[in-house]
């Protein structure tokens, strides 16, 4: 993965232990993209290092904890960081977006039932409108 690719969950869905994401963002947006990349580390259970050429470099463990940061606009020294070399298996890594798709399907089914299902009336029982209008 490179740079902006880390913003898309489907692209970052990988069975890996460590993910390296080089970037070259402009200073105003680099920190946002680096923080978003941390979410991908949690979802997929891997350590993630996003090194940015002109911005905010950050390293996360598989639980989303920030291990190290470096602002490359200010600090041009060598950046060293130790990250865990073994990832963890997460539910998202195993089933992906299946839960989200099931929720969407369930919502559509419930809306369909509400829209297309008419309340049943017993024969001979007047409707509420008939009673309130004196019919």
pLDDT confidence of residue 101: 92
Residue 114 burial class via C-beta count within 10 angstroms: exposed 0-12, middle 13-18, buried 19 and up: exposed
Give phi and psi for 115, each to the nearest 5: -75, -45
Q: In what order do the strands lie in the sheet with 66-71?
A: 18-20, 47-50, 56-60, 66-71
Q: Where are the domains of the chain?
A: 3-90, 95-132
User: Average pLDDT for consecutive 10-residue bins of the chain (135 residues)?
Assistant: 76 86 80 83 91 87 92 84 90 84 95 82 59 58
pLDDT confidence of residue 102: 94
pLDDT confidence of residue 125: 60
This prediction has a pTM of 0.68
């Amino acid at each position: 993965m490179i740079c902006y690719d880390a913003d898309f969950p489907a692209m970052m869905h990988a069975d890996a232990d460590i993910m390296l994401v080089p970037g070259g963002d402009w200073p105003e947006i680099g920190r946002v993209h680096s923080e978003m990349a941390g979410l991908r580390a949690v979802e997929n259970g891997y350590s993630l290092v996003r090194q940015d050429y002109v911005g905010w470099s950050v390293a996360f463990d598989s639980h989303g904890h920030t291990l190290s940061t470096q602002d490359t606009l200010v600090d041009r020294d060598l950046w060293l960081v130790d990250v865990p070399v073994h990832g963890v298996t997460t539910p998202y890594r195993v089933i992906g977006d299946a839960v989200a798709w099931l929720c969407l399907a369930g919502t559509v089914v419930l809306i369909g039932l509400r829209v297309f299902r008419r309340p049943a009336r017993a024969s001979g029982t007047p409707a509420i409108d008939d009673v309130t209008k004196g019919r």
